[in-house]
Amino acid sequence: MKPILQISLDLPHIEAALEMAKVAVEAGVDWIEAGTPLLLGEGLHAVKRLREAFPDHPIVADLKTMDGGYLEAEMMARAGATHVVVMGVAHPATIRAVVKAARDFNIQVMGDIMASPDPVACAKMLEANGVDYIIVHTGYDERAEDPARTPYDHLHDVVKAVNIPVQAVGGLSIDQAADMPKHGAPLVVVGAPLVIDKKEFSPSANPEELKTILEELVARVKRSV
């Protein structure tokens, strides 16, 4: 898989998310993610607005599905999402339900192994149940309690264990994100708003500066392998 750069819109309001997405797309970002805060704040209407604004871009709905898998995936697919996220610690029946909906509605599934007691086994189980991508995810609260925790804790073992593309998420710096394809994780994600060198970047604050940062990241990701 060729490297892909995904912008995660971790913003609670759609107007700010649309501004950020516009800058990101102009900078060359490939995929747009409706982050969990955006879905909590705006629901599936956020996905509809993103699809209207960016008709040709893949849109990931970071649902973090734990139950009701078929319905959640169906709703997001009908709203315009091309990818949905199911948690690896969900019951396998839920994972299979999300995968079935994805096949029925022609979208894809990302399996998030966050909080799994055995990340490698979880990743292999997700692959066996039909997900299309694995997300190696170190959660925000986990990192807040133990700043030493990173996706690197499990990334290389997971990459070796599965045959589907891997993404690493959770507290990575811009430099670390740019290097992810070299570690076997070609689907690179960067969160928005961005915080770089303790400075927060948002489109309303300085869209041109943000665009330059993202353009440089896109270039690094694309030439990283």
* 13 assigned to some structural domain: yes
Residue 134 within any structural domain of the chain: no
- Segments forming the whole domain that contains residue 62: 4-110+171-222
Which residues, given as ranges, of the chain have pLDDT below 50?
Answer: none
pLDDT of 204: 67
Which residues are 201's β-sheet partners? Answer: 194
Question: At 187, which CATH number?
Answer: 3.20.20.70
Residue 49 belongs to a domain: yes
> What total of structural domains would you count in the chain?
1
Domain assignment present for residue 130? The answer is no
Tokens in use for 31? 């995929």
Q: What is the pLDDT of residue 179?
A: 95
pLDDT given for residue 197 in this prediction: 63
In a domain, 84, yes or no: yes
What pLDDT score does 193 carry?
73
Residue 206 confidence (pLDDT) = 84
| pLDDT of the residue at 81 | 98
Instruction: Evaluate whether residue 17 is within a structural domain.
Output: yes
**pLDDT for res 198:** 67
Say if 158 falls within a structural domain: no
Q: Please indicate, yes or no, if residue 20 is contained in any of the structural domains.
A: yes
* Helix/strand/coil (H/E/C) assignment for every residue in the chain: CCCEEEEEECCCCHHHHHHHHHHHHHHCCCEEEECHHHHHHHCHHHHHHHHHHCCCCCEEEEEEECCCHHHHHHHHHHHCCCEEEEECCCCHHHHHHHHHHHHHHCCEEEEECCCCCCHHHHHHHHHHCCCCEEEEECCHHHHHHCCCCCHHHCHHHHHHHCCCCEEEECCCCHHHHHHHHHHCCCEEEEEECEEECCEEECCCCCHHHHHHHHHHHHHHHHCCC
